[in-house]
Amino acid sequence: MNCSRSAILLAVIFFASSVNAFVILDDNTGGDCELKNIGVWIPETKTCTLTKDLNIGLNIGTEIGLQNITLNCSGHKIVGSGTGYGIHAYNPVNLTIENCDINGFNRGIYFWGGTGNNITANKIHSNILGIDVRLQYFIDISDNKIYSNTAHGIEVGYSSYSEVKNNQVYENGNIGIYLEVGKENEISGNEIFLNQKGVLLIFYPSSEGNMLFHNNIRQNQTGAYTTYAGLYSPTVGIYYNNFIDNNVQLWKGAAIRASLNNIGNYWSDYNGLDLDGDGVGDTDIPWQNVDSYPVMEENGWFRIPYCSNGVLDTGESDVDCGGFCRPCPDGNACLADSDCEWGYCNPNGICGIERDLSIEWVKPIQVVEDVPLVAGKDTVVRVKVVNNGPETETDVSLDYSGGCFKETKPKILIRGFSSKIVDFYPPNNCTK
């Protein structure tokens, strides 16, 4: 009964705090996206692209979760006055928030419930809490800069199969990345520095399969802090990390597996010896009372001799790559997505698949309605590129007949099994 009442209360608080906000909807105008003249709405891709800075927050939908919406801020700012949410959504599915600069809110981004959501390439700073997501499945929080928030940078609560990767998380007043309960979550490839606690991990007995790996955790008061609630502690994997110059490198309150394939972490204060020259310390172990295989230098797992001996060794998915060695390029064997450079191990156990890109449509669009299109003024040519393969980068070119105009947009990132709109702005004399 108490849990149900809490959930209802949180939902009420969530919507009560969202009244004075723009609302993005799945309709012909994207709700306020075009009605309030804050952006351009593309119904085909359900994408709202902001065209101006905002001084109040955004709701994605109302109490009914929307599906397959993208909010692209195009670098625009969403600025608050210390309360409310910058962007929030209730039970969204496949929602993408990208290229936003969010600051000045109680929470920069807040999701309650949902699956398959993405928060990527944003700047989230100077809030009380940067990102707060709860009851999520398969959320991807990646390539963001999250800094100078009063409390936490990222908080992922009661969520499973989440990926928090390749973010810069720094100078937050309390915790950089906070993972609470949930299972099979991965925190990897992040730069975590100058926080009170770099990473805080709190688990229940059912919280199995969580991993902290390939992170640089440096110059925090406490590098990583682990604890649990319940009758016993689940085991969290903490390996292949660099722990550098934290005041307290690790506080162990939960069961930790600090190595994989006999390779652990790098500790800047480790002063043991490598007696056999294999790049792994042999004395003064287990270091921090957890790591029996501390590596001798930063990123030392990449320089273990058997990662460059031309032989398929135990722990590698292919020769000298995968596992504890460097990720494998496309075409090499893999056992998991983490074995691959591009983060995709296909069902056949091979990194990546052939790129499958196509142009679905090309549309000239009048920006100024009262100017005839034939006059060659104020138009944008919009190209929709469809990717039926894994995430990839590609150049997109537009070439007008007669050599009047040719432009290339380089290195357009298109997420796996999705689409991307690319805009071109031809000179007036080329528009026909």
Q: In the chain, where are the structural domains located?
A: 2-288, 304-353, 357-430
Q: In percent, how much of the chain has pLDDT > 70?
A: 85
Higher pLDDT, 208 or 344: 208
Q: Which two tokens stand for residue 106?
A: 């109680």
pLDDT in tens, 352-402: 765 567 776 666 665 544 444 443 445 677 788 887 766 677 888 877 665
- Indicate if the pLDDT at residue 239 is higher than 60: yes
- Indicate if the pLDDT at residue 33 is higher than 60: yes
Higher pLDDT, 160 or 414: 160
Among 3-17, 116-130, 135-149, 401-415, the range scoring the smallest mean pLDDT is 3-17
What's the confidence (pLDDT) of residue 8?
Answer: 29
In this structure, the number of other CB atoms found within 10 A of the CB of residue 430 comes to 16
pLDDT in tens, 165-192: 999 999 999 999 999 999 999 999 999 9
pLDDT in tens, 34-92: 999 999 999 999 999 999 999 999 999 876 678 999 999 999 999 999 999 999 999 99
Q: What is the 8-class DSSP label of residue 66?
A: P
Confidence grade of residue 101 (pLDDT, cut at 50, 70, 90): very high
3-class secondary structure per residue, the chain: CHHHHHHHHHHHHHHHCCCCCEEECCCCCCCHHHHCCCEEEECCCCEEEECCCECCCEEECCCCCCECCEEECCCCEEECCCCCEEEEEECCECCEEECCEEECCCEEEEEEEEECCEEECCEEECCCEEEEEEEEECCEEECCEEECCCCEEEEEECCECCEEECCEEECCCCEEEEEECCCCCEEECCEEECCCEEEEEEECCCCCCCEEECCEEECCCEEEEEEECCCCCCEEEEECCEEECCCEEEEECCEEECCECCECCEECCCCCCCCCCCCECCCCCCECCCECCCECCCCHHHHCHHHCCCCCCCCCCECCECCCCCCECCCCECCCHHHECCCCECCCCEECCCCCEEEEEEEEEECCCCCCHHHCCCEEEEEEEEECCCCEEEEEEEECHHHCCEEEEEEEEECCCEEEEEEECCCHHHCC
Among 161-165, 193-197, 213-217, 404-408, the range scoring the smallest mean pLDDT is 404-408
Q: Which two tokens stand for residue 381?
A: 């040519």
What's the confidence (pLDDT) of residue 6?
Answer: 32
The CA dihedral of 14, 47, 97, 108, to the nearest 10 degrees, is -40
- Indicate if the pLDDT at residue 267 is higher than 60: yes
CA torsion sign for 66, 111, 81, 19 is: positive
What's the confidence (pLDDT) of residue 418?
Answer: 74
Half-sphere exposure at residue 361, Cβ-oriented, CA atoms within 13 angstroms: 7
Q: Which two tokens stand for residue 283?
A: 């004395």
SS3 (DSSP) at 261: coil
What's the confidence (pLDDT) of residue 2?
Answer: 37
Confidence grade of residue 293 (pLDDT, cut at 50, 70, 90): very high
Rounded to the nearest integer, the mean pLDDT of the chain is 86
pLDDT in tens, 43-59: 999 999 999 999 999 99
What's the confidence (pLDDT) of residue 397?
Answer: 82
Confidence grade of residue 405 (pLDDT, cut at 50, 70, 90): low
- Residues paired with residue 366 on neighbouring β-strands, in sequence order: 379
